[in-house]
A and B are shown apart, each in its own frame.
Chain A
Amino acid sequence: MADLKNPFQVLNLSVYDTKTAINERADELSFESPDDEEIIEQARNILLNPRKRIAAEVYAFAEKGIFTKGNILEDIALIDKNFFAQDADELREKINTARLKSKFPAVQDTADIKAELTNIRYEIREKIQDGLKDMTRDGRVKVAGDLAWTIGNGGDFGIIVEDFFECYRLEMNPFFETIRKELIALTTKIKFNANEKFIEDLDSKLAEFGDAIKPLNKISMAIGTNKFHETEDIFYGVRSTAIDLHNEQDLIDEPLRITRILEKHFYYLPTLQEKIRQDIKDLEELQKNHLSPNGVKAADVLTEILDTMDKRLHFENDGYEQSNMDFYKNEFKLRHEPALLRAMSLSGFKPDELKTLNTLVYFIYIKMGKALTWTTPSESAFNSIHEMFKKALFYAEASSDAESISNARKMFEDWKDVGKNISTQKDSTQQTPDNSSSSSNEGAGCFTVIVFAVIGTLIGGPIGGAIGVYIAAKISENK
């Protein structure tokens, strides 16, 4: 029936018409409308076959409430109720009464009627799926949310409602997949830099996800299976970020904030309640007992940074540009970046100190990028330069320093498309887009000292100058 219009409608006949009437009408119609012959013949074949016509008869006698002509998504609960009310024995009785008139043999058992009801269920499901597909995401979330609310408030439900939520899951899966990726990226950022902006972003992403997944979680609770794997995947991913922030970076406020966000969105889930409660309790306890960090600790971290830089950072070109480049790319990543980030993420730092440190990192990246422009132009060189400027921009934005942001953005933009041309310009090895950063390799070490000395002066602030001088002195001493 799914692939054919109701054969009674095709032949314009009723369930009471006899075989002769069916044949005559089919002959007549197919002679008059040759274009419709195929469908007319199909209808004839179905209606003349005592077993196959059951499908058409079920359609004729089934509760009309399951064949809504309006928007199916507005009537799910009602269709579900009507579908549940279908009784195969009752339908058989009605069909057999009609067959007394049409002179077709009586239907002996209800198996075929039940099979047809299953087909009707699949047709309804297909319509639901199509309906959801045509809606916006917000629209789907609203319809599903409303239905879940009805069920959550003690409403009975059957297979059509379950099918609806399965269709909803299918339709929303691409969204869940996307948001899962976004949340992974965001929690990675937070692990490196748990700033307020990122945590706010996390809150709003989780709200978006939470609203969309809630109907599915509610139906699972209503069925009793309590399967929340999509939510649990996300929940545990975010929770593990909070745990890492505390364990690895000794942070407390940010993990607590994140845990409160999880509580806001997922506390209704029985499998997660206990964990959320315990996490909050533990973090609050820790917060009470936490000692304010002092400058000594920050200085320790910075010393570590500078020691590492002193030992590792060399801008001299020893003739092996490729290895030089690898050095910047790998060693800096491995050594300097985590050390600085740990320093920046210490809870004891005040906002302006964080700003200072973010600016410091921005400076290091921008100068590293510029230094790299001295190397032989190649695709990998370009990638490294581009990566340095991209990071410079990232930290500039985190520092909120307008000048830094503007400078970093300019460098990033200037170098964005250079890679495409650079491989063809191998001979002009020290070209930069505006040549403003051209310099000799011999000057690199000195340049670095100057840079760090200047950093302090430029940044200013409570520890900024000290840091700058300190870095410069350290490097100078080692030279």
Chain B
Amino acid sequence: MKYFVGIDLGTTNSAISTFDGENVRVWKSKKDQNDVTPSAIYVDKRGRRFYGKEAYLKSFQQPERCATLFKRFMGTSTKIKIGDEELTPEECSAEILRELFKNLPEEIRENKDEVGTIITVPAAFNQMQNAATLDAAKQAGLGKVALMQEPVAAIMRVMKDNQSNGNFLIFDLGGGTLDVAIAERISGKVNFLAHGGIAMCGGRDFDRILMNEFVAPWLKEKYSLPKDWSAQPKYKKLRSFSTYMTELAKIELSSDEHVKIEGETGIEDEHGEEIYLDVTINRAAYDRAIAEPLIKAIEMLRETIKKSGLTANDIDKIIFIGGPTNYKPLRDKVVSEVGIPGSIEVNPMTAVSEGAAIFAESVDWNSQEHERKATREQTKRDEALGLSFRYESRTPGDKAKIATVLAAQVKGYTFEISSIESGWISDVIALKNNAVVTVPLHKRGENKFVVKVYDNTGSDVRFENDTITIVKTFANVGALLASHSIGLEVKERIGSNVSRLDYLIREGDTLPAKGQRKFRSAQKVRAGSSDSINFKMWEGEIEDNIEDNRFIGQMKISGEDFDFGAIIEGTEIICNYTIDEAGSVTLDVEIPSIAESFNSGKNFYSRSEGQLNLDDVAGKLNYEGQNLLERVRDLGKAVEDDNDYEKLQQAGEVASTALSANQQAHDREELQHIVDDIQDAKKKLNEIRRNNLHVIREQELEQLKDYYDEKIKKFASPQETAQFEKLFAKAESLIERPDSAFENILQEVRYRNYDVLAKSDEFIVVDFVRLTENPYAYDDRESFEKVFEAGKKAIEQEDIVALRKVVNMLWFLKGRQDDDVSAANIVRA
């Protein structure tokens, strides 16, 4: 491989760089000679396409013909409209990648087989977004491509100029995302300790805030505009022009105390008055406006420090990267909040692409999975002498070790090693197995050495593979870290309705990873039947409330997948998994009892399942908001700690925003924000539950006991009463247990409550009424109607036996639809 390319595919701007083993070069955009190329596409009326700055400038004049910010929608099924065309976010990204590639010199572009490209992605990107980025690269036809997290690339760039040991924190605030990474350098070796990020937090969000807090109110005050003007097509141009001018003003604030957002818009208001923008903003007002997202960013930074196992005192400096960090008050705020000195030692706009190019050099592009090059190698053995050399092939140090490997002892032989470039020569050393020579490395990049062997007469002994190449790197990077935890959903026990995540990899674990898990089937599947064993995979850290994580894919082994036998409950399932450096998961499932193996394919992730369409998401958000609100209310009864209470309030706010989500009133970015906020709120609620588990469990148990005393006890037989008391005592003893044993017992009590109540004829009538209140709750309406009629008849005829049968049938109908046929049905062996 000759050329190593790094691409920072940004939300607002992208950049491309190359590395030749010694030097990094940023390739400017062809047309305007800028280091960065705006990630924008413009299609004119004739269908001609423009990219970069040209396209970006058109975005406020003809927003309907431009595509910008599409990176924010990667991994969703949202369509991007450009004029009459509809593109996917991946297609838009592919066009930008192709355009960036054009910035490279011809000899690189025309030698794609000799090019290895690293494209960076935010650390906060989930697997869907990563997969979409790889798709974009494939569509762009870039050749050999691998992904890497942006902050890791930034660290590579920092290490190029900085040779001192210590812990570094990268704060990369880009146009659309925030990435934070912590790495440690010890003697040229870089180990990643932790990383994190927020997918919807960047300069673009600051622009929106300025627009919403200053420009939009000013426009409303000065001109006659409808309440929802920004959602109306008539004012689309006004909105994009204002946004553009606001962004320029924000950049100016980096150097000026006051800035003006002004200019002719060419748009008339409702009374036909031409709108002229003239808004003044000062730094203090801007600081106040961006305080909230900045606090979120600082929270993420603190969280990442915690994940690394370090404290702020252990970190030497924060290195700022990304356009918005050009604003000094922002840097000052971050520095003062976390108490770590700041640094602006690298170009904030190009550091990521430069680092990616440096990283590209360390990749073995000939390997299938684009693994990293080995840091130790061995030369091919010379058959005559039985001699080969083991050596450090890549090191950031000034010296490297070379050791002899001899198949059999030789007597009287000696050898020496000399540097081809510098003329350095070792002593003459007796040739024996494992004779170690330390050689100096005079320059970065390749250092070549030649080995000479002499026999007992002092004559040269010719042998094959006598040349050794050692690469002196800027830094040797340790293993990459998984950005998210990934786990398979497993049932606690056969027959239990409680599931948990069995993690294949935890956030922060090193990549690549492989291993084996043994499971048992929790369901019977006969050959030829449509039943299946389901492996459901989730991404996230929430172990006990699985559905609060992000669903990322499913593998099914159906009865139709094998010809003979049956998988019965308890059948052993052996699952071998591999997770590559990009985080792609492959499963190989072996079921010895039916002598069959199944493979999940190259990548486990199912992008079609779980993809959101932001043009049709409001209903789902309203539903999620409602659920969230109920959970907030429930938790509110148990929370006493101020910190938890604050988190609860934040979750409550997210819930109410989600409840009011509206496809017309919110644009896609706002909806995406809500989606991410809901995910974040769920995480917080689970944290609160964990923090207050004892109190919450006590309350749940108390409530259940009260209910039992009031409503159940009088109907229970002495035997049942004794049983209830035993269960309550057991639940009490399980309050401290970290697993879900407590919840299982409570569930058992609830089932028994029903059984006791169901002995009473009155309860059966009440239950019938309750179960038939909402016919829409039944998917099988036809069956429901039949059963409902039978129930009414039974009541008319006062036939309680028949009514009981009806109630049982209604539960059956309800249960049948609640039974998710795709539910995970494996237990950990």
Contact = CB atoms under 8 A, between A and B. Distances in A.
Nearest to B520: A170
Contacts of A122: 502, 828
Interface in B732-791: 737-739, 741, 744-745, 748
Nearest to A99: B309
Majority secondary structure of chain A interface residues (helix, strand, loop or mixed) = helix
A223 B187 CA distance: 56
A2 B828 CA distance: 14
B191 A49 contact: yes
Contacts of A166: 493-494, 827
B440 interface: no
Interface string B363-393: 0000000000010101000000000001010
A154 interface: no
A108 B306 contact: yes
B184 A174 contact: no
Q: How large is the interface on B (under 10, 10 to 19, 20 to 34, 35 or more residues)?
A: 35 or more
A85 B186 CA distance: 39
B194 interface: yes
Contact of A170 (B308, B494, B508, B515): B494
B408 to A, nearest CB: 19
B336 interface: no
Given A23-B187, A173-B494, A225-B727, A50 B738 contact: no
A52 B311 contact: no
Contact of A174 (B376, B502, B509, B568): B568
B569 A177 contact: yes
Contacts, number: 125
A225 B508 contact: no
A126 B829 contact: yes
B570 A173 contact: yes
B191 A105 contact: no
A435 interface: no
Interface in B645-684: none
Given A2-B515, A48-B184, A171-B570, A107 B479 contact: no
Contact of A107 (B186, B194, B309, B828): B309
Contacts of B739: 118, 159
A224 B729 contact: yes
Given A129-B829, A270-B719, A172 B570 contact: yes
Given A23-B186, A159-B741, A173-B494, A52 B508 contact: yes
Contacts of B509: 52
A114 interface: yes
A29 to B, nearest CB: 11
Nearest to B570: A173
Majority secondary structure of chain B interface residues (helix, strand, loop or mixed) = mixed
Nearest to A125: B828
A169 B829 CA distance: 11
A16 B593 CA distance: 47
B515 A3 contact: yes
Interface-central residue, B193, B306, B308, B829, by most chain A CB under 10 Å? B829
Nearest to A54: B309
A225 B502 CA distance: 25
Contacts of B495: 227, 229
Contacts of B726: 224
A51 B478 contact: no
Contact of B403 (A31, A52, A171, A270): A31
Interface string A144-179: 000000000000000100100011011111100100
Contacts of A2: 515
Interface-central residue, B311, B376, B478, B828, by most chain A CB under 10 Å? B828
B608 interface: no
B191 A48 contact: yes
Interface in B453-481: 478-479
A351 B61 CA distance: 105
B308 A51 contact: yes
B571 A174 contact: yes
B309 A31 contact: no
B343 interface: no
B184 to A, nearest CB: 7
Interface string B513-545: 111101010000000000000000000000000
B479 A159 contact: no
Contact of B829 (A49, A54, A118, A170): A170
Contact of A105 (B314, B403, B514): B314
B310 interface: yes
A177 to B, nearest CB: 5
A51 B304 CA distance: 11
A171 B572 CA distance: 9
B309 A37 contact: no
A34 B390 contact: yes
Interface-central residue, A126, A170, A174, A229, by most chain B CB under 10 Å? A170
Contacts of A114: 738
Nearest to B403: A31
B705 interface: no
A34 B737 CA distance: 45
A458 B460 CA distance: 109
B10 to A, nearest CB: 29
A49 B195 CA distance: 12
B311 A23 contact: no
Interface in A251-287: 270
B401 interface: yes
B298 to A, nearest CB: 18
A337 interface: no
B189 interface: yes
A159 B508 contact: no
Contacts of A246: none
B403 A169 contact: no
B401 A45 contact: no
Given A31-B390, A48-B191, A51-B309, A226 B723 contact: yes
A30 B727 CA distance: 56
A20 interface: yes
Contacts of B376: 30-31, 34, 37
A50 B313 CA distance: 14
B2 interface: no
A42 interface: yes
Contacts of B571: 173-174
B311 A42 contact: no
A50 B403 CA distance: 33
B510 interface: yes
A45 B478 contact: yes
A57 B605 CA distance: 34
A409 interface: no
A81 interface: no
Interface string A21-63: 0010000001100100100011011101111111000000000
B724 to A, nearest CB: 9
A128 to B, nearest CB: 9
A129 B572 CA distance: 10
Given A31-B403, A170-B520, A50 B572 contact: no
Contacts of A50: 193, 308-310
A105 B309 contact: yes
B31 interface: no
A54 B306 CA distance: 14
Interface string A340-351: 000000000000
Contacts of A118: 738-739
8 A-B pairs with least C-beta separation: A50-B309, A173-B570, A51-B309, A3-B515, A224-B730, A224-B726, A170-B570, A170-B520
13 contacts: A23-B189, A51-B308, A52-B309, A104-B309, A105-B311, A105-B314, A107-B309, A166-B493, A170-B520, A173-B571, A174-B570, A224-B727, A229-B495
Given A48-B186, A51-B508, A177-B569, 5 more contacts: A20-B186, A118-B739, A169-B494, A171-B570, A227-B495
Interface of B: 184, 186-187, 189, 191, 193-194, 306-311, 314, 374, 376, 378, 390, 392, 401, 403, 478-479, 493-495, 502, 508-510, 513-516, 518, 520, 568-572, 593, 719, 723, 726-727, 729-730, 737-739, 741, 744-745, 748, 827-829
